Amino acid sequence: MVFEFLHKMCEVMAAYFGKISEENIKNNFVLIYEILDEILDFGYPQNTDTGILKTFITQQGVKSQTKEETAQITSQVTGQIGWRREGIKYRRNEFFLDVLESVNLLMSPQGQVLSAHVAGRIVMKSYLSGMPECKFGINDKVLMESKGKSSLDDSARGGATGKTAIAIDDCQFHQCVKLSKFETEHSISFIPPDGEFELMKYRTTKDISLPFRVIPLVREVGRQRMEVKVRIPTPLNTSGAQVICMKGRAKYKASENAIVWKIKRMAGMKECQLSAEIELLNTEKGKKWTRPPISMNFEVPFAPSGFKVRFLKVFEHKINYSDHDVIKWVRYIGRSGLYETRC
């Protein structure tokens, strides 16, 4: 709870004055003091929802409220749906849904996966009028089996990764999700906060589609020469390197003790090769080079876990608009976490 509160505190401050830096903290000291006064009482977290805080803490400081405004804030904070106020109106009803995944890998030099897991987040930007109820469907094995969806039916429909369902090891929801419905009906049902929020966090460890596979080949030629293929850490006594690559740009960076290889775009099912001949300084015999792992940074337009949004429906009974009137945007982004291959 302590760490979650600290992360929330950073989110709230970022929502008020952008990047958290020493200068920004000095410039917004009074504002931060007011925020802390509201979100924490006697060491216990009270309210860390930015939407609610912004109704009574402004950029300039606390404004004096009328009795009606005070009553509205009190009912919002203490009410059943404290994360969303009444009377929200938009000319165009739309929401954006981002599936953001961080894939972590440790692979042996022989290509065996030693450990792999995906940490995922579902971030929503909601611009919907009234008090809408949303139903969210994903291709989780437990949810799909409870709905009686067979693997055959879903494979016939097809999917981005070819996987019909994924096994989610653990997940955590935003407070707006009705957990009772999730436990009984196995459906993710919620009334979304206004604006941007994190709907769900999850973790998977099975059947991960690894975006890249690195095949290292390191050959030590005596004490003063070395031949290396692929993207590489180099020994501390490296004096220079001759690098050859057919795709992208690669160069030796002495400050990082590594050859850094950058590729802007790469098609699927393709192979790229880098060769480097490294010159070493003739030093006294000491410790043997430990061969640190090859690491990668990347961003790909799919979810490595195989996570798929099956449906997202919006119901609003008071205001006259239906699910078909809502514009929906969904995108998948897979990024590298700690993605390493041992040499």
CATH of the domain at 244: 2.60.40.1170
The 10s digit of each residue's pLDDT in 40-80 is: 888 888 888 887 787 777 664 433 455 555 555 555 555 56
Residues 187, 69 share a domain? no
- Tokens 């979810």 -> residue: 303
Q: Is residue 86 part of a domain?
A: no
Picking from 282, 283, 234, 227, the residue whose alpha carbon sits closest to that of residue 255 is 234
The candidate with the shortest Cα–Cα distance to 123, out of 101, 99, 139, is 99
Share of the chain above pLDDT 70, in %: 84
* pTM score of the predicted model: 0.73
Q: Which of these three, 54, 78, 102, is where a domain ends?
A: 78
Residues 104 and 241 in one domain: no
Residue 87 in any domain: the answer is: no
Quick check: is 247 in a domain? yes
Query: Does 155 share its domain with 266?
Result: no
Q: How many domains does the chain have?
A: 3
CATH number of the domain encompassing residue 21: 3.30.450.60
Mean pLDDT of all residues in the chain? 82
Residues 201 and 101 in one domain: yes
CA distance readout (Å), 149 to 117, 142, 312: 26, 10, 17
Residues 187 and 333 in one domain: yes
- Write the DSSP assignment of 69-134 as a string of letters: HHHHHHHHHHSTTTTS-S----SS-EEEEEEEEEEEEEE-TTS-EEEEEEEEEEEEEEE--SS-EE
Residue 42 inside a domain? The answer is yes
Mean pLDDT, residues 266-275: 86
- Are residues 9 and 143 located together in one domain of the fold? no
The number of angstroms, rounded, from the C-alpha of 343 to the middle of its chain's C-alpha atoms is 28
Claim to verify: residue 325 and residue 187 sit in the same structural domain: yes
Q: What pLDDT, on a 0 to 100 scale, did the predictor assign at position 70?
A: 58
Residues 239 and 312 in one domain: no
With a cut of 50, say whether residue 151 has pLDDT above it: no
* Statement to judge: residues 41 and 110 lie in one domain: no
Local confidence band at 158 (pLDDT 50, 70, 90 cut-offs) = very low
Q: Is residue 88 part of a domain?
A: no
- Cα angle 220-225-227, degrees, rounded to a multiple of 5: 55
What is the token pair recorded at 266? 């790469």
pLDDT given for residue 128 in this prediction: 93
Q: Using 50, 70 and 90 to split pLDDT, how confident is the model at 160?
A: very low
pLDDT exceeds cutoff 50 at 161:
no
Alpha-carbon span 261 to 214, nearest angstrom:
13
Tell me, yes or no, whether 240 and 267 share the same domain.
Answer: yes
Q: Are residues 310 and 179 in the same domain?
A: yes
Summarize the confidence of residues 170-191 as an average pLDDT. Answer: 85
Lowest-confidence region among 130-134, 232-236, 306-310, 316-320:
232-236
Domain-located, residue 130 = yes
Q: What angle do CA 190, 192, 194 make, to 5 degrees?
A: 170
Note down the domain range covering 64. 2-78
With tokens 């809408």, the residue in question is 132
What whole-number distance in Å separates Cα of residue 145 and Cα of residue 312? 19
Q: What is the pLDDT of residues 93-130, one digit of tens each?
A: 999 999 999 999 999 988 899 999 999 999 999 999 99
Q: Percent of the chain beyond pLDDT 90? A: 27
Confirm whether 205 is domain-assigned: yes
Same domain assignment for residues 18 and 134:
no
CA 254 – CA 238 distance, rounded (Å):
8
Q: Is residue 197 part of a domain?
A: yes
State the pLDDT confidence band at 343, using cuts at 50, 70 and 90: confident
Rounded to whole angstroms, the maximal C-alpha distance in the chain is 83
Write down the pLDDT at residue 72. 56
Using only C-alpha atoms, what is the Rg of the chain?
A: 26
- Pair 227, 215: CB distance under 8 Å: no
